[in-house]
Chain A
Amino acid sequence: QVQLNQWGAGPLKPSETLSLTCAVYSASFSRYYWSWIRQPPGKGLEWIGEVNYSGSTDYNTSLESRVTISVDTSKNHVSLKLTSVTAADTAVYYCARVAALGSSGWYFDYWGQGTLVTVTS
């Protein structure tokens, strides 16, 4: 069984740094990539990026300059930091497990409960 439990601070003011953590309860933590995905209120899903057990990352190019995703292997935690936030970063943020299909791409098979982060002055 796989469970993802996430938390983080909010609300934030413009220019502050968003910080979220996702605790992964899974015996196979080291075998997968772990992603962050966000959803602005009333809008669709946007992939933010991913990290694996060894700390290798991939980011959405539109957010790459402001995003850091990291892993704490001693706690099975995955963290997201997004700097210089604006109102446009207001969203529900989800962590999710990445399931790979080799050259056919990948999908997200387990999701956290979501954390609403509001950016307001």
Chain B
Amino acid sequence: QSVLTQPPSVSGAPGQRVTISCAGTISNIGTGYDVHWYQQLPGTAPKLLIYGSTERPSGVSDRFSGSKSGTSASLAISGLQAEDEGDYYCQSYDNGLSGSIFGGGTKLTVL
């Protein structure tokens, strides 16, 4: 059971927009800690997609955007492409556990 809760799967057709939620608690996201997102394509290491809840690293497409409100955060992917298929993880810090925590991951399928 992950401390951050993500839907196991989402799907969308090419060109559509999908969102992936990440639900936390008052001991992590709700305390004010930022949320970060990673994309893991099949057979590869995770890649940083969004940091600081809303910031994109250099080289990441502007089709990816992040938001945070209260005890939860979301990753939005617009203009879905087949190459976006993979797993997406949110990550934050938890006061009670005194360490980094991850969501359970969401598998994105492009129909």
Contacts and interface: CB of A to CB of B under 8 A. Distances in A.
B105 A60 contact: no
Interface string A73-115: 0000000000000000000001000010101111111011110
Interface of B: 2, 32-34, 36, 38, 45-48, 51-52, 57, 89, 91-93, 97-105
Nearest to A62: B97
Contacts of B46: 45, 94, 108, 111
Interface centre among A46, A58, A94, A105 (most CB of B within 10 A): A105
Nearest to B53: A104
Nearest to B87: A44
A71 B59 CA distance: 30
B23 to A, nearest CB: 15
Given A45-B89, A101-B34, A108 B48 contact: yes
Given A47-B99, A101-B51, 20 more contacts: A35-B100, A44-B2, A58-B98, A59-B99, A60-B97, A60-B99, A61-B97, A61-B98, A94-B45, A101-B34, A104-B32, A105-B33, A105-B36, A107-B51, A108-B46, A108-B48, A108-B91, A109-B51, A111-B45, A112-B45
A114 B44 CA distance: 8
A101 B51 CA distance: 9
Contacts of A108: 36, 38, 46, 48, 91
- How many A residues touch the partner, as a band? 20 to 34
A47 B101 contact: yes
Contacts of A114: 45
Contact of B102 (A47, A106, A111, A112): A47
A40 B92 CA distance: 20
